[in-house]
Structure 1
């Protein structure tokens, strides 16, 4: 089951974040080239970059949580018995699930307000509600990831802790 979830997250949120990051890179290249050689930038380039950054940041959240690649304070782990540490980790994942679900709910409320007020971007006149809905979706998926870890042991993180002497540079 966890392998299926890993694959689903990589091919959904991970791919979306990667494509958005590549799009930012391409947009920046075209924008800088246009300004340098043609004295014109891409109209609305900043707005598109901001929306793409939302996709990169919020799209990566579920995958970062899934892989355990977020910042971890583990200075006291050596002093906590392993049984208690497992309970502590489950409580932390439950707290994270609740916090991300709460933030998703707040973002849904904000998206509804954007829709009611007709909020749009300044230059391109793009509606803001779909962006907020997408943020809420990614926050909700992140909450589900942490909820899964309340009941199942998370996969080992790709990198955990500081580099050890003798590690390849």
Structure 2
């Protein structure tokens, strides 16, 4: 299950974030060349960059959460017994699951409002609602990843305990 879900998240949200970041890179290159040599920037370039940044950030969250690659405060870990650390991790994942689900619900309400009012970007007049729906879905998916982590251990972890760091050097 771990490897299957890890691959699924990698090939969906991970690739989505990578493609958005790659698009930002090329948009920036084209925009700079256009301004430097043709005195003309990409119309709506800032709006496109903003939307793509939303995709980069929100698409990366489920994969980062599932793999445990987020920022970890571990100063007190050496003082906490393993059995308590396991309980602590499950409680933290449960809190994160609830928080992301709540934020996802708020974003659903916001997306509905954007769609109802027909809100668009200023320059390109692109609808904002689909971006908000994507954000809501990715927040919910991140919450689901944390909920699964309440019941199973993370497949891989970016967190390396201090003891292991000293042993490897």
- State TM-score, norm by structure 2: 0.94
Provide the residue aligned with 1:89 in structure 2.
Answer: 89
1:157 and 1:114 map into 2 onto residues whose CA distance is 37
Aligned ranges 1:1-150 → 2 under 5 Å: 1-150=1-150
Measure, in 2, the Cα distance between the counterparts of 1:142 and 1:164: 29
Moved over 3 A (4+): 161-168
CA distance, structure 2, for counterparts of residue 128 and residue 59 of structure 1: 17
**Counterpart-to-counterpart distance in 2, 1:12 and 1:5:** 10
Q: How far is 1:156 from its partner?
A: 3.1
SS at match of 2:122: coil
Q: Distance in 1 between matches of 2:14 and 2:72?
A: 21
123 and 146 in structure 1: CA distance in 2 versus 1, 3 angstrom threshold: same
RMSD: 1.6
Residues 26-80 of structure 1: per-residue CA shift (max 9 Å, x gap): 0000000000000000000000000000000000000111111111111111111
Query: Comparing 158-167 with 75-84, which one deviates more in the overlay?
Result: 158-167
Q: How far does residue 159 in structure 1 lie from its aligned partner after superposition?
A: 4.5
Structure 1: unaligned runs, 5 residues or longer: none
- Give the aligned partner of residue 155 of structure 1: 155
Report the number of matched residues.
168
* TM-score (normalizing by structure 1): 0.94
Aligned-pair distance for 1:165? 5.3
